[in-house]
Structure 1
Amino acid sequence: MRIIRGSRRGKQLHPPVGLPVRPTTDMAKESLFNILDNNFYFENIAVLDLFSGTGSISYEFASRGAIEVVAVEMNPKCADYIKQTAKELTFDNLMVIKGNVFSYLNSARRQFDVIFADPPYDLEGVATIPDLIIKGGFLAPDGLFVMEHGERVSFQSHSHFMEQRRYGKVNFTLFSPNQIMADDEQAV
């Protein structure tokens, strides 16, 4: 696992063995950030990273100069690893919240420019996450919500669906608060 671009470009990260995570592959992460590079100036955005795991996505945003990165992770060992790594890399723009993502979303009342979620693929309620984010008002008007998910889940009929990208077994679905399809326009 490595940081691809930005101030800590090329930095290799070595999370402890045995963390209950499935880190986003470097290839998939690089492809995702190529999409984001075409849509955002990282120096101007606030980012929310849900189900942060090892923090790989958070470090990439922080390295690229995001104003603020908030990483929410429930597993104490993972959250501690993210905090320690952010400290070692001197990412003052990265804040870690150790807690349940759904509890955080029920209590937080602010907007982010980019929200990334990488829930466990078998998480109960995974299909409700896009609505929690978009209807909850967590995305800025021109924001983007990216969800990593397994092959069995499809969001193509979601009213805020923009596109889905697949990199090996990794699927990213992009949602926009401004992308609203009428019922008769929704994908089947």
Structure 2
Amino acid sequence: MRIISGLYKSRKINPPKNLPVRPTTDMAKESLFNIINNLYYFDEITVLDLFAGTGNISYEFASRGVEQITCVDQDFGCIKFINETSKAFEMPIETIKSDVFKFLEKKSIKANIVFADPPYNFTLEQFAKIPELIFQNDFLIEDGLLVVEHSKHTNLSELGNFSYSKSYGGSVFSFFEKD
């Protein structure tokens, strides 16, 4: 795994093999950031990374100049790895160890971008709960964007606030916006 662009471009990230993760591929990550780069100035936004795993997406945001990033994951090993890596690279990443759904029900952080990369084997009901809670509890700043990564075998286009999706190999990014 590597950081694609920005201050830490080409830096390799080597997470422990025992983490319960499926990192976003470099090709998909590069495509996602090309989309986001056309919508926002990275030094002016805040990011909430749900199901953060290794922190792969958060490191990319930090490398590109985002100064306020919050990662949420329920796995202690993932949180520990993100803390160690962000400290080593002096990245502005805050971590919260929590079940994402419990976090979304109780907390209220405002972000320009909420990125969620839940397990690909989630049911449609579990996937649907993510945008439902994000919009119900007002996590997005005006003109904010929720991006949910999922398998090409999952279709989220019928969910509320769905805007569009982009496919990259076996991965799909579905984009959700306020009405």
TM over 0.5: yes
Shorter-chain TM-score range: over 0.9
What do you get for the CA RMSD once the two structures are aligned?
1.1
Is residue 73–residue 100 contact of structure 2 (8 Å, CA) maintained in 1? yes
Q: Deviations over 1:140-166 (max 9, x none)?
A: 111010000112321212331111111
Correspondence 1:113 to 2:108: no
Matches within 5 A, 1:64-103: 64-91=64-91, 93-103=92-102
| 1:136 to partner: Cα distance | 1.7
Q: Deviations over 1:109-142 (max 9, x none)?
A: 2310000000011235122211111222101111
State the SS of the aligned residue for 1:36.
helix
**Change in 2 beyond 3 A, CA 1:109/1:123:** same
Residue in 1 that maps onto 2:150: 149
Residue in 1 that maps onto 2:176: 175
Correspondence 1:5 to 2:5: yes
Aligned-partner residue type, residue 127 of structure 1? A
Q: Deviations over 1:49-98 (max 9, x none)?
A: 0000000001011111112000001111111001000011111x211111
2 CA distance for matches of 1:157 and 1:123?
A: 16
Is residue 128–residue 159 contact of structure 2 (8 Å, CA) maintained in 1? no
2 CA distance for matches of 1:156 and 1:100?
A: 25
Displacement over 2 Å in runs of 4+: none
Matches within 5 A, 1:31-50: 31-50=31-50
TM-score normalised over the length of structure 1: 0.91
Residue in 1 that maps onto 2:127: 126
Matches within 5 A, 1:50-69: 50-69=50-69
Is residue 113–residue 145 contact of structure 2 (8 Å, CA) maintained in 1? yes
Residue in 2 that maps onto 1:29: 29
Residue in 1 that maps onto 2:141: 140
Q: Which runs of 5 or more structure 1 residues have no equivalent in the other structure?
A: 179-188
State the SS of the aligned residue for 1:69.
strand
2 CA distance for matches of 1:162 and 1:111?
A: 20
Identity %: 45
Is residue 19–residue 77 contact of structure 2 (8 Å, CA) maintained in 1? yes
**Which range moves more in the overlay, 4-13 or 21-30?**
4-13
State the SS of the aligned residue for 2:61.
helix
Residue in 2 that maps onto 1:185: none
Aligned-partner residue type, residue 41 of structure 1? Y
